[in-house]
Amino acid sequence: MKSALFCLSVFVYVIATVNGENPYRFFDWKVTYGDIYPLGVKQQGILINGQFPGPEIYSVTNDNIIINVHNHLSDPFLISWNGVQQRRNSYQDGVYGTTCPIPPGKNFTYTLQMKDQIGSFYYFPSLAFHKAAGGFGAIKILSRPLIPVPFPQPAGDFTVLIGDWYKINHHKLKAILDNGHRLPFPDGILINGRGSGASFTVDQGKTYRFRISNVGLQNSLNFRIQGHKLKLVEVEGTHTVQTTYSSLDVHVGQSYSVLVTMDQPARDFYFAVSTRFSSKLLTSTATLHYRNSAGKLSGPIPGGPTTIDWSLNQARSIRTNLTASGPRPNPQGSYHYGMINISRTIRLASSHGQVEGKQRYAVNSVSFKPADTPLKLADYFKIGGVFRVGSIPDSPTGRKMYLDTSVMGADFRAFIEIVFENRENIVQSWHLDGYNFWVVGMDGGSWKPASRNQYNLRDAVSRSTTQVYPKSWTAIYIALDNVGMWNVRTEYWARQYLGQQFYLRVYSPVESTRDEYPIPKNALLCGRARGRTTRP
């Protein structure tokens, strides 16, 4: 079925190329509540076309993806696309700062283009605390035919969505946060929507690709397969130096592809996922089943790493393969990011605390408060008083935490450095919509200008979500080549919900459709944008 679909898509692709147009793929999604039992107890899940997790989006570089999302929930709803860049088109990003919520009983058609991208990503519901109920699924962007991929075609391509999970209903979780409290520790870990019993069937001697995304709410997870090695080949759209690991840390919001060769005697093996850096250790297993298996699961479940140093060393070993192709035939390394002068340094530090007796989280002391109108629409219609550019400082100030609709201004085509400073003792995971960035350095302690001497200015990995270890820093470089209003957020979902996020407004004074697409004709209009017209 999948290969038939693939052949069809290649066929469509060829026809379309002849016509000089990129192919279109259409999806019609019905979002509903439904009963799910991932940890053995009944709970309310968010289903897409009856499925939990939601259907996979399978695409090829530059495909146009048209998704008509029908909201049958009793709540407003939005989907966002983690790692898909929405080039020139932040209107499609599906977060509250860019797009009006789809009201209950209504629909909205997203128009995405997988422009100049390859790799493994996922989508998720961005509003309320819907992510704790499902509504997420995998996104695969394959290389165009004739563009070389730096490894032989695998015998199969498995999606592995992992994440921590609560048995508590998502409305209740949201109410706990709204009432100013912290969430309890999660109840378990799901692998493809199941607390146990997921299974992957393989043929002995063959090599398979596993695309692993952490779609959970807060915990960093470690992934491993009993008796098998993981060869890393791709991270969020970048083909990596192919290093072999016995296990892999996947921080919340991140995606990785590994190749696994089925080189063991034919039996069943444990597929194990467990929490890292957490007070309690949660582990879930699935089965790697050899088709000619002669034996059941046996032996101890393989254990994960235990030190932060192990993780830091692994993170630093993940690098770009400079001679491999990316979405285009030229090697990915031809853009020498290490030779470009930095025009600005931004330092971001998170903090936790209470505002008016309620638990909040902040970036540089500002705890994000949504406005009554999506910021992107306020910008487009020039509606004043919704947000102020510059409402979050470029560096930590030490000020007491306060609420604001924080928007940072930045110039189109600037080349900037961001240092994430983690003064807390948890692992952080930061994501930037609209972009990939180079993870040039990370280390323990405080960042200083001299820390730049240890940056990797040659083959750092380019990705969209990076971890920052406890009491440590991570530095990234970004070429701001995508105009729009882009969400910068922690992927630790309760913290995101309670303010650890802001928007980066990448602005060009030249209003040209070459730099940014016009507002979509079907854009939903809400708040102070209600009743405006999207046609010039």
Q: How far is CA 297 from the centre of its chain?
A: 32
Q: Between residues 80 and 496, which has the closer beta carbon with respect to ligand NAG? A: 80
Q: Is the sign of the CA dihedral 11, 14, 20, 23 positive or negative?
A: positive
Check residue 488 and report its DSSP letter: E
* Single residue of 321, 406, 428, 490 touching ligand NAG by CB under 6 A: 321
**391 lies in the binding site for ligand NAG (CB under 6 A):** no
Q: Which amino acid is at 222?
A: N
Token pair belonging to 278: 């957490």
Q: Which amino acid is at 426?
A: I
Site for ligand NAG, residues 138 to 177, rule: CB under 6 A: 150
* Single residue of 272, 324, 410, 416 touching ligand NAG by CB under 6 A: 324
Q: Between residues 76 and 150, which has the closer beta carbon with respect to ligand NAG? A: 150
Check residue 9 and report its DSSP letter: H
Q: Between residues 443 and 459, which has the closer beta carbon with respect to ligand NAG? A: 459
Site for ligand NAG, residues 273 to 292, rule: CB under 6 A: none
Q: Between residues 105 and 299, which has the closer beta carbon with respect to ligand NAG? A: 105
Token pair belonging to 90: 């932040």
Cα(97)–Cα(379) distance, rounded to whole angstroms?
11
* Single residue of 66, 241, 479, 526 touching ligand NAG by CB under 6 A: 241
Q: Between residues 154 and 186, which has the closer beta carbon with respect to ligand NAG? A: 154
Site for ligand NAG, residues 328 to 367, rule: CB under 6 A: 341
Rounded to a whole number of angstroms, the distance between the first and last alpha carbons of the chain is 45
**406 lies in the binding site for ligand NAG (CB under 6 A):** no
**109 lies in the binding site for ligand NAG (CB under 6 A):** yes
Alpha helices in 118-207 (DSSP H): 170-178
- 164 touches 185 (CB < 8 A): no
* Single residue of 32, 111, 242, 391 touching ligand NAG by CB under 6 A: 242
Q: Between residues 216 and 374, which has the closer beta carbon with respect to ligand NAG? A: 374
- 443 touches 473 (CB < 8 A): yes
Distance in Å, CB of 78 to ligand NAG, minimum: 13
Of 38, 144, 115, 124, nearest in space to 78 by CA? 124
Q: Between residues 3 and 341, which has the closer beta carbon with respect to ligand NAG? A: 341
- 19 touches 3 (CB < 8 A): no
Cα(441)–Cα(38) distance, rounded to whole angstroms?
38
**107 lies in the binding site for ligand NAG (CB under 6 A):** yes
* Single residue of 108, 200, 210, 517 touching ligand NAG by CB under 6 A: 108
Cα(444)–Cα(121) distance, rounded to whole angstroms?
29
Listed ranges 50-58, 80-88, 102-110, 213-221: which one lies at the site for ligand NAG (CB under 6 A): 102-110
Site for ligand NAG, residues 38 to 97, rule: CB under 6 A: 68
Of 503, 519, 497, 526, nearest in space to 125 by CA? 497
Which residues lie near ligand NAG (CB under 6 A)? 68, 107-109, 150, 241-242, 321, 323-324, 341, 522
